[in-house]
Amino acid sequence: MLKSTTGKPTMSPKTVVITGCSSGIGLALAVKLAKDQLKRFKVIATMRDLGKKKQLEDAARETLDNMLEIKELDVCSEDSICKCVNSIPGQKVDILVSNAGMGLIGPVECQSLDTMKMVFDTNFFGLTRLVKEILPDMKRRQKGHIVVMSSVMGIHGLLFNDVYAASKFAVEGFCESLAIQALKFNINISLIEPGPVITEFEAKLYEEAAKMDLSSTDEETAKMFRQLYLPYSKKVFHTLGQTAEDVAEHTVKVITAEKPPFRYQTNSLYTPLTTLKFADPTGNLHLDTYYKMIFQHDRIFNASLSLIKFLRGRSGNQPGRKHS
């Protein structure tokens, strides 16, 4: 349980820059922070394409230009990041939420190196560009919090998510190293590690998967991807999946914590799976469990998912349910 610093409003609101606010978690978090009852946050909600700002404007209407401002920021462009930060009074960012990201699924032999580089450029180098721009000022002020949207796939790998998981592992290695230095300057770094979240992220992945040319792989792998992985993945998303609002709520807890955790998993249903990684340093427990779950005991796994779905339905804790 995180002890929060809530209770009294701060004199001046903290400036929070969030990337990737055109949809999903970034949008939900921007709205939640901007609507904070205690008005503790001034939110700079950024997106690379301002043509997509309507959904955020509609959701945050009463806070616009007061507690929330929408600005352009492409995490793949140093110029764009610099321009955005320079437009903030005193270039003072109290909290950075590095959220923008993209997924990639499929057999690795069917993915181009350009696509793989784009995933790293967004998920990993996007974070490093932001940190290079914002950390020096936080160090000067001896104050700040960098919150990074990682994933359970920053902890363990998953079938057909090779490059995406690698990009999140890179994020975790970078943050774990930097966090030690940051502490010396009184700056916290926190990794948020959601399991599946039902956002456009998932829809985009399946759209890409449907178009994917599988001719560069063998028949068995192509079949494994289309007939085993995709239906499994959809079932996992819809059984264990959280809403963007859920993840935003957890992220607010981390942002307002008296002592922010370095790692924070948002989905307790997923924790038994991530624990396998920490329980056995050889890595075999994780590999064996996933191998057996997918290729040998898939009926039991499917039945367990159906049971979880049923129980969540009965308790009203259904994935996709929005919080008010």
Ligand X SMILES: NC(=O)c1ccc[n+]([C@@H]2O[C@H](COP(=O)([O-])OP(=O)(O)OC[C@H]3O[C@@H](n4cnc5c(N)ncnc54)[C@H](OP(=O)(O)O)[C@@H]3O)[C@@H](O)[C@H]2O)c1
Residue range at the interface with ligand X (CB under 6 A); choices 46-54, 138-146, 172-180, 223-231: 46-54
Are the C-beta atoms of residues 97 and 149 closer than 8 Å to each other? yes
Examine residue 107 and tell whether it contacts ligand X (CB under 6 A): no
Is residue 306 annotated as involved in ligand binding?
A: no
Tell me if 129 contacts ligand X by CB under 6 A.
no
Q: Is 168 annotated as a binding residue?
A: yes
Is 46 marked as binding a ligand?
yes
Residue 207 makes contact with ligand X by CB under 6 A: no
Among 5, 6, 35, 52, binds ligand X (CB under 6 A): 52
Under the criterion CB under 6 A, does residue 100 sit at the interface with ligand X? yes
Is 149 annotated as contributing to ligand binding? no
Angle between helices 113-123 and 162-184 (to 10 degrees): 30
Stretch that binds ligand X, among 36-44, 69-77, 281-289, 297-305 (CB under 6 A): 69-77
Contact region for ligand X (CB under 6 A) — 61-69, 95-103, 130-138, 312-320? Answer: 95-103
In angstroms, the CA 235 to CA 306 distance is 9
Residues numbered 183-202 forming contacts with ligand X, rule: CB under 6 A: 194, 196-197, 199-202
- Annotated active-site residue 164? The verdict is yes
Select 47 or 255, whichever has its Cβ closest to ligand X.
47
| 28 is an annotated ligand-binding site residue | yes
Residue span 135-164 as binding mask against ligand X, x where in contact by CB under 6 A, dash where not:
--------------x-x-------------
Among 2, 59, 64, 76, binds ligand X (CB under 6 A): 76
**Shortest Cβ distance from residue 9 to ligand X (Å)?**
29
Annotated binding site for substrate: 151
Annotated binding site for NADP(+): 20-48, 74, 168
Question: Can you give the binding site for ligand X, defined by CB under 6 A?
Answer: 19-20, 22-26, 47-49, 52, 74-76, 99-102, 122, 149, 151, 194, 196-197, 199-202, 204, 244
